[in-house]
Amino acid sequence: MLSSPPTDSEVVVNVVLGNEAGRLGDYVGVKRCSWTLDRKPLEGMKIVVNPEDGIGSEVVMTMSSVDDSSVSVDESSFDESSNTRREYYALEGLVSNFFVITPSGVLLTAPSSSVLQGYKRSVFLAAASDLNIPVRYAVPVSCLSEVGCAFTTSSWGGGREVRDIYVDGEHRWSKVEGGENEVFRMLKERVKEIEEENEEV
């Protein structure tokens, strides 16, 4: 049984890209299977952290296409077998949903059709709607080097702020020290209000 991490701790994520040889592939369906031969290798790709520091580690899965023609990305890998470039989008973690806040304050998350629907995810999206925070349902891997904030949600609790982002083990981004992202702070406050309102009903 998985132990619950502290809900206010930070997390380090490793975004894992697939490839044409099927080394990992696109793991849209991995979470629908408890412990499969496909999922076990992903567990081994977590970035090693010291749990005594209160830092969690998560693997974020990807897919190489998304049904959103308005999204343009630069992150890609060359597929020699078809002479095309494969573009990647972050989906969700093995035990969490994944969100990014852009420097301009737009909330990015995977398309609902590509991830498991979580209660906390739905509450954060409702909070974004209440606060008129724009939401785009695509997280291009190309944007992960320049984000304002990133966080994960799960049944264990509220948003866990991401401290570092890696892509296939290569460091891409670190949280700026010295203050919480304003959009993330507003979202957490509104989520708390929504949950208190739901308890009163």
pTM value? 0.77
Q: For 27-40, how does the pLDDT look when each residue is reduced to its tens digit (9 = 90+)? A: 445 455 544 556 66
Q: Which residues are CB-contacts of 19 (< 8 A; sequence separation ≥ 6)? A: 77, 86
Does 122 score more than 80 pLDDT?
yes
| List of long-range contacts for 108-113, beta carbons under 8 Å, 24+ apart | 108/135, 108/136, 108/137, 108/138, 108/139, 108/143, 109/135, 109/137, 109/139, 110/66, 110/137, 110/138, 110/139, 111/66, 111/67, 111/68, 111/137, 111/138, 112/137, 113/67
Domains of the chain: 10-200 (3.20.10.10)
Question: Would you state the pLDDT for residue 85?
Answer: 55
The mean pLDDT of 187-197, rounded to a whole number, is 93
Q: Identify which has the larger pLDDT, 52 or 175.
A: 175
The string of pLDDT tens digits covering residues 71-91 is 433 334 444 444 455 678 998
Q: Between residues 15 and 6, which one has the greater pLDDT?
A: 15
- β-pair partners for 151: 99, 161
Task: Encode pLDDT of 104-117 as tens digits.
Answer: 999 999 998 888 88
Cα angle: 181, vertex 124, 15; to 5 degrees: 70
